[in-house]
Chains A and B, each alone.
Chain A
Amino acid sequence: MKKRTLQRGLSAFWWLTLIFLYLPLAVVVFFSFNAANSAARFTGFSLRWYERLLGNEQIISAFWNSMVLAIVSAVLALVIGCLLGYGMYRHRHRKLGWLIVLIYLPIVLPDIVFGISEMAFFVSIHRYTGLLQPGLLTMIISHVTFQIPFVALIVYSRLVGLDPTLFEAAKDLYATPFKRAWHFLLPTIKPALISAFFLSFTLSIDDFVISFFTSGPESATLPIYIWGAIKKGVTPEINAIAALMIGAVAIAALMSLLFNRQGQR
């Protein structure tokens, strides 16, 4: 009897957790379809807020900024992080664990500290050289910076999970170093790379604080736009943006998970 009570309690706890996690999201999505301009009263189903989004140039521009930032930074982080992950694997016997700690440190720092330091750094470079004016480029650099360790770790853990003799088998079967990378290494870690890409993409879309400090006047992303807009109160329009972002991030995160699992099969 006692055991069953415990199980019921745990099950209830689990449902409660889920409710706190997902109910707020559901509320936002629900009210994004509200016909009335209210976040409290649902008067009927309507897509008018989504239509309004398409007509709002600021939002469209913020959307494109977000996409360019996320895709470009994720691709760059993928290339650099993949090289780093492979390097860590190749030299794993040399005890390079401190290296990953070193690149991990900035991202375990509070975002605001990381964001402010990046900003200060870019501002001083700009002052002395005229380069790196705050804008999309500086945002891309800082996003790549915090995505690299995630990519490197995903690639590294995939490589460590491989039978090391596979590398030797490729050598033994006449593959030159370039052919080994192209016909063996990349196809073998492809799922990990795709997973890492979607994770980086999600991290970039999600990020507000670091973007906020490194952006310029022309490079507001969706989270930055929302931040500015909610000063006037939460409108159903904001709900609509939020709903779309929830959808996009959920898909990207799911893809990341899916490919990561496929790779570990």
Chain B
Amino acid sequence: MSHPTTVAKTTDQGATESRSDSAQQSGERERREPSSIELKGLHKRFGKHTVALDDVDLTIEAGEFFTLLGPSGCGKTTLLRMLAGLEEPDAGHVCIGGQDVTDIPPHKRSVNTVFQSYALFPHLSVRDNLAFGLRMRGDSKKEQRRKVDEVAEFIQLGSLVDRPVDQLSGGQRQRIALARALICEPNVLLLDEPLSALDAGLRGQLQVELQRIQKRLGMTFVFVTHDQDEAMVMSDRIAVLDGGIIQQVGPPNEVYEHPRNAFVARFMGHDNLFAIHASGDDWVDTELGRLHIDPAEQREEQDGWLLVRPETLELNAEVPENYNQLQGKVMERLYRGSRVEYRLEVAGVTMMATASNLGQRLLNVGDQVTVSVCPDDLVRVAS
């Protein structure tokens, strides 16, 4: 608990400094403490056969940027909707800020959502859209105006505020939707794939901006996406979901580098998974042959998968003696500018290797190659 509170305090100051003079004159806004979230035994079924969530237990720290990651139909959106109160669990409890809100309807929860479709009210101007939550909550007209101006400054909406909703571009709608949710200063902000409708350039830009906003406000963000790159760039922690079950929770580097099972590994974009036939203290037998591994990777079970990250492979390099060395052949070369990807054939199996483009001679299709990898970089993954 102590860590997120400090984050909130320091970012609070940052936010104050960067806010405009006018906002400061109108008085420091009373900021709510960000809330932690606790989910206990959440279960949800749609119809008879579709299990959306299967006994989900999850704790999200206050002030954390937390991402629910998974393929479509994995239950991530259902989970988010339960936090908002838009979906009721069949069993289990939702606690926000230590309070059980399972039976509290959405309009009574201090939680706001940025919807995938933005859901801006077409009958209202941008200004009225922004003020909607404040108005429904019963803030005074003066207060509404002040907060709209403040959030417009904070999200840098500029002249957008006085434009009709139907004249906004996708990116502009996205910012308004974000501002409309932030303006209410909720304890938790929920974001349901808010960037998925934008083109790649804009998406990248907004990823960075969203993360900055979250750090400045110190608010708890729960973000839903199916894009693992997006999840890794933005999040403090990621939960990977599949089939209504949380497969792994952890910081991005942990989930990426040490996926707990084959699903997580594949979903995080790993292709180089090799079946393990047998294993010992510091070795595994795979399709590639016997490889040395870090004894720390030793597992009780004999089977599973060996993850070889393409960027840990060294091609035709001078390596220490304890490195694993394999002979292979270049089958395909994908030139990506900053890096080069090779599809190799090693021991009759396909293996991907990535080399940073440091100006070295590129390998050609058909070249024989020696592939080396440090035992410490090999990771065992459960099936």
Contact = CB atoms under 8 A, between A and B. Distances in A.
A177 to B, nearest CB: 8
B119 A176 contact: no
A109 interface: no
A179 B136 contact: yes
Interface in A157-200: 163, 165-166, 168-176, 179, 183-184, 187-188, 190
A168 B114 CA distance: 11
B117 A175 contact: no
Size category of the B interface is 20 to 34
A174 B181 CA distance: 11
A168 B180 contact: no
Interface in A178-237: 179, 183-184, 187-188, 190
Interface string A1-16: 0000000000000000
A172 B123 contact: no
Contact of A173 (B86, B116, B122, B136): B136
Interface stretch (B104-112, B155-163, B198-206, B272-280): B104-112
Contact of A165 (B117, B123, B135, B181): B117
Nearest to B192: A165
A169 B184 CA distance: 13
A41 interface: no
A95 interface: no
Interface of B: 84-86, 105-108, 111-113, 115-117, 119, 121-124, 132-133, 135-137, 166, 180-181, 184
Q: Is chain A's binding surface mostly helix, strand, loop or mixed?
A: helix
Given A168-B86, A171-B106, A183 B119 contact: no
Contacts of B84: 168, 172
Q: Is chain B's binding surface mostly helix, strand, loop or mixed?
A: mixed
Q: Return the 6 tightest CB-CB contacts between A and B, nearest first.
A: A173-B133, A169-B119, A165-B119, A174-B136, A171-B106, A175-B136
Contacts, number: 65
Given A163-B117, A165-B117, A179-B136, A171 B107 contact: yes
A40 B310 CA distance: 96
Given A172-B84, A174-B137, A166 B121 contact: yes
Nearest to A180: B107
B119 A168 contact: yes
A265 B119 CA distance: 16
A170 B117 CA distance: 14
A131 B96 CA distance: 59
Given A173-B133, A188-B123, A265 B107 contact: no
Contact of A169 (B105, B121, B123, B137): B121
A190 B123 contact: yes
B192 to A, nearest CB: 9
A188 B121 contact: yes
Nearest to A265: B166
A183 B112 CA distance: 18
A174 B107 contact: yes
A175 B117 CA distance: 19
